[in-house]
Amino acid sequence: MNHERDGAWSRRRPRPVRRRQWALAILSAFCLLASAASLAVLHTGTGPLTNLFQPGQVSCRVLEGADGSTFDGVTKTDVRIRNTGNTDAYIRAAIAVTWVAADGDVFAGKPQAGVDYTVTYSENEGWEPGFDGFWYYTRPVAAGADTADLIKSLSAVNSPEGFRLSVKIAASSIQASPGKAVIDNWTAVESVNGTSLVIKKEGA
């Protein structure tokens, strides 16, 4: 069988292999020349480009008083948070009020607002208390910008012997886009409406 097949094969007319090989070689050479010419045009027609990428940075700082003012030890005013990063961010704050001794120990008693200290929070300026006890600034803050005041004024009134009022203000910022970042990680954020945070309130 194989012999017959070989015989049939040998009876066929020989193909013009050499001509086709030449045609293929000429076509390949033409393509190479064409691509070389294209590369040359691209190379000479485009100047060098340097792409600089700046990594995103999210950070914040607690500010108090008017710019340049110093704390007089009695009354704290205009407490706000600055977005010190290079991209829009959402900001929230936690306030811990305690009595502290000179060595930093915290007294077990809890200072009472309106009795041991007076505090005035800003109203309708974007800050909302969440069910978790933290304050949320519902609008995104541009890089370098400040939130509205969280605390307008805070003063100590009474303190137990050997202790002074301590007000610790912690601030936290997170990238504003995409909204999934803040929804997934800040517990009191229910959703983002446009660019405003919808906050879960206590008892809601």
Partner 1 sequence: MSLTVAISGQGSVTVTGLPVGSYTVTELTGWSWRYEPDRASAAVVLQPGKDNTVTFMNEKTNLYWLDGDSCKDNIFDTKG
Q: Which residues bind partner 1 (CB under 8 A)?
A: 56-62, 64, 71, 73-74, 76, 81, 84-85, 87, 89, 94, 96, 98, 100-101, 104-110, 117, 132-134, 154-159, 164-175, 181, 185-188
| Nearest distance from C-beta of residue 37 to partner 1, angstroms | 47
Residues in the chain: 204
- Distance (Å, whole) CA 122 – CA 96: 18
| Nearest distance from C-beta of residue 97 to partner 1, angstroms | 8
| Nearest distance from C-beta of residue 137 to partner 1, angstroms | 14
* Residue whose CB is less far from partner 1, 118 or 196: 118
C-alpha separations of 200 from 24, 95, 129, 180, 183 in Å: 73, 18, 9, 16, 11
- From the number of C-beta atoms within 10 Å of its C-beta (0-12, 13-18, 19+), residue 187 rates as exposed
Residues 6+ apart with CB under 8 A from 116: 156, 157, 158, 159, 165
* Residue whose CB is less far from partner 1, 29 or 142: 142
* Residue whose CB is less far from partner 1, 61 or 201: 61
| Nearest distance from C-beta of residue 52 to partner 1, angstroms | 19
Cβ–Cβ contacts within 10 Å for residue 188, how many? Answer: 21
| Nearest distance from C-beta of residue 130 to partner 1, angstroms | 9
* Residue whose CB is less far from partner 1, 117 or 127: 117
* Residue whose CB is less far from partner 1, 17 or 102: 102
- Distance (Å, whole) CA 151 – CA 154: 7
Beta strand 117-121 with 127-129 is unpaired
